[in-house]
Amino acid sequence: METGELVMLKTFHKGKLREFIVTVSDDELHTDFGKVDLSLLLKLDIGDHISAHKGQEFVIQRPRMPDFFHHAKRTGAPMMPKDIGLIIAYTGLNKGDSVLDAGTGSGILAMYLGSIAKRVLSYEVRDNFAVVARKNVQNAGLDNVEVRFGNIVEEISSIGEKFDVVTLDTQDSNDVVPYVPAILNPGGFLVTYSPFFEQTKEIRDAIEAANFYDVRTIECSEREISFSERGTRPSTMRVGHTGFITIARA
């Protein structure tokens, strides 16, 4: 491996899975079960094992987006993978796409989109949230995701770029919608995420007034199946409501 590469070290300790995302460097990783000399990674590869000074062994893996989802610092409620998956599938996001995203929040959606698209530009109105999101993006090794501090309602008309997909996850998304057709490439998609029916209706009205095609609002339910000695059934741990996703095409 090379200096600067991101890797994940995984181990079982006292019956629990523990994982650490680290950079190949001269540093040390300090854990409650010993230090790991990260420069030793230079002579190792993905799938190899590395030991802490007290003998605890870790397997080396390449971190992927679900790992960054778990390890990223959070400033608020991030979008859930079930909803992100739906956005990626219904927009057909691909490696040639440019995406405009707001608000950034912890940057979870922006990072998932950035792991596929060519470029993601994301706006966050709270500067301290933007700082955390930038750090999360950097930790995920994504140099194609730009987090800008600013209010999307004020900024959208002067961005001066075109996008293939626009994702809006703010309370004032309906104020942004009228400006979206002018910055979407032909056939591009607008996606909004809104937790309440009332907000979703306001967004639908704004979309209706802005002449989009193929407008749909959907909710994605996720139900985990539990396996035990007694039997197999949907988990009794309830998965709550997250948000409604509205997709419209330019």
Ligand X SMILES: C[S@@+](CC[C@H](N)C(=O)[O-])C[C@H]1O[C@@H](n2cnc3c(N)ncnc32)[C@H](O)[C@@H]1O
Contacting residues toward ligand X, per CB under 6 A: 76-79, 102-103, 105-109, 123-126, 129, 151-153, 169-172
- By the 8 A CB rule, do 179 and 157 touch? yes
Q: Shortest gap between Cβ of 150 and ligand X (angstroms)?
A: 7
Structure tokens at 242: 């997250």
Backbone torsions φ then ψ of 6, nearest 5 degrees: -90, 130
Q: Shortest gap between Cβ of 110 and ligand X (angstroms)?
A: 7
Q: Which lies closer to ligand X via its Cβ, residue 7 or residue 93?
A: 93
Outline where 156-246 has alpha helix (H).
Answer: 173-176, 180-183, 197-209
Q: Which lies closer to ligand X via its Cβ, residue 79 or residue 142?
A: 79
What is the CA angle 179-80-237, rounded to 5? 145
Q: Shortest gap between Cβ of 105 and ligand X (angstroms)?
A: 3
- By the 8 A CB rule, do 81 and 69 touch? yes
CA distances from 230 to 68, 175, 206 (A): 34, 52, 51
Contacts of 85 (CB under 8 A, 6+ apart): none
Q: Shortest gap between Cβ of 35 and ligand X (angstroms)?
A: 33
Q: Which lies closer to ligand X via its Cβ, residue 9 or residue 87?
A: 87
Element (H, E) at 226: strand 225-227
Q: Which lies closer to ligand X via its Cβ, residue 56 or residue 174?
A: 174
Q: Shortest gap between Cβ of 196 and ligand X (angstroms)?
A: 12
Q: Which lies closer to ligand X via its Cβ, residue 103 or residue 188?
A: 103
Q: Which residue is nearest to ligand X (CB)?
A: 103
